[in-house]
Amino acid sequence: MLPRLILALIVCPLLAEASTEMPLSGRYLGQYRIVMWGCPGACNADAATRLGEGIRDVAWTWDFDEGWVSMEGTSLTVGFPYEVQDLGNESDTHNRAQVTYLGDNRYRVDHGFQIYNPNVGNPRTETLTVFEITESDSGLTMITLDHEVDGLADGIPGTQIHGVFPMTVQPQMDGWALPDNNDTSGDGLSDALKLQLGLNPRLLDTDNDGLPDIDELGSLGAEAPADSDNDGLIDALEPGDSALDPQRLAGLALLGSVPGLSTGTEPLAGEVISVTTAAPWRFVQASTDLMVQDTENEQASEDRDATLGAPGLKYSYGRIRLALEPASNAVATDSATLSITTPQPLPANDELLVYLQTNRNEPDSFKLLTSSSWQRKDDNTLVLTIGLDSEWNLATTGSNRIELTVAPTRNGLGGIERSGGAAFWIPMLLTISTLMGMNRIR
* Choice between 261 and 399, residue whose per-residue pLDDT is larger: 399
Q: Residue 393 pLDDT > 60, yes or no?
A: yes
Using H for helix, E for strand and C for coil, what is the string for 369-402? CCHHHEEEEECCEEEEEEECCCCCCCCCCCCCCE
Instruction: Name 403's bridge partners.
Output: 323
Do residues 60 and 27 touch, judged by C-beta distance below 8 A? no
Tell me, what amino acid is at 68? W
Cα-to-chain-centroid distance, residue 294: 12
Q: What is the pLDDT of residues 41-84, one digit of tens each?
A: 778 888 888 888 888 888 999 999 999 999 999 888 887 899 99
C-alpha to C-alpha distance for 321 and 366, rounded to whole angstroms: 13
* Choice between 274 and 300, residue whose per-residue pLDDT is larger: 274
**Which of 426, 16, 1, 34 has the alpha carbon at shortest distance from 265?**
34
pLDDT at 295: 57
CA 174 vs CA 49, 136, 152, 260, 348: distances in Å? 18, 16, 21, 16, 30
pLDDT at 101: 97
Do residues 53 and 290 touch, judged by C-beta distance below 8 A? no
**Which of 197, 206, 308, 295 has the alpha carbon at shortest distance from 250?**
206
3-class secondary-structure state, position 260: coil
Q: What is the pLDDT of residues 341-371, one digit of tens each?
A: 999 999 999 899 999 999 999 989 999 998 8
Q: Residue 8 pLDDT > 90, yes or no?
A: no
Q: What is the pLDDT of residues 199-227, one digit of tens each?
A: 998 899 999 999 999 999 999 998 999 99
DSSP secondary-structure letter at 273?
E
pLDDT at 312: 80
Q: Name the strand (E) or helix (H) holding 14.
A: helix 2-15
pLDDT at 166: 86
Q: Residue 413 pLDDT > 90, yes or no?
A: no
Q: Residue 386 pLDDT > 90, yes or no?
A: yes
What does the DSSP assignment read for 153-164?
A: --SSSB--B-SS
Least confident of 115-129, 190-204, 332-346, 428-442: 428-442
Q: What is the pLDDT of residues 180-206, one digit of tens each?
A: 877 888 888 988 889 889 999 889 999
Give me the chain's average pLDDT, please.
85
Q: Residue 301 pLDDT > 90, yes or no?
A: no
pLDDT at 151: 84
C-alpha to C-alpha distance for 259 and 360, rounded to whole angstroms: 27
Mean pLDDT of 303-328: 87
Do residues 256 and 287 touch, judged by C-beta distance below 8 A? yes
pLDDT band (50, 70, 90) for residue 21: confident
pLDDT at 44: 82
Do residues 84 and 69 touch, judged by C-beta distance below 8 A? no
Mean pLDDT of 144-168: 91
pLDDT at 190: 87
pLDDT at 320: 97
CA 430 vs CA 40, 81, 319, 424, 426: distances in Å? 10, 20, 27, 12, 6
* Choice between 364 and 130, residue whose per-residue pLDDT is larger: 130
3-class secondary-structure state, position 352: strand
* Choice between 339 and 363, residue whose per-residue pLDDT is larger: 339
Q: What percent of the chain has pLDDT over 70?
A: 86
Residues contacting residue 165 through CB under 8 Å, at least 6 positions apart: 115, 120, 123, 436
Mean pLDDT of 127-142: 93
Cα-to-chain-centroid distance, residue 99: 25
Dmax over CA atoms of the chain, in Å, equals 75
Cα-to-chain-centroid distance, residue 9: 35
Q: Residue 442 pLDDT > 50, yes or no?
A: no
pTM assigned to the model: 0.73
Do residues 199 and 236 touch, judged by C-beta distance below 8 A? yes
* Choice between 120 and 419, residue whose per-residue pLDDT is larger: 120
3-class secondary-structure state, position 314: coil
What does the DSSP assignment read for 246-257?
A: TTEEEEEEGGG-
pLDDT at 19: 53
pLDDT at 34: 94
Rounded to 10 degrees, the C-alpha dihedral 243/245/249/251 comes to: -20
* Choice between 4 and 155, residue whose per-residue pLDDT is larger: 155
pLDDT at 294: 63
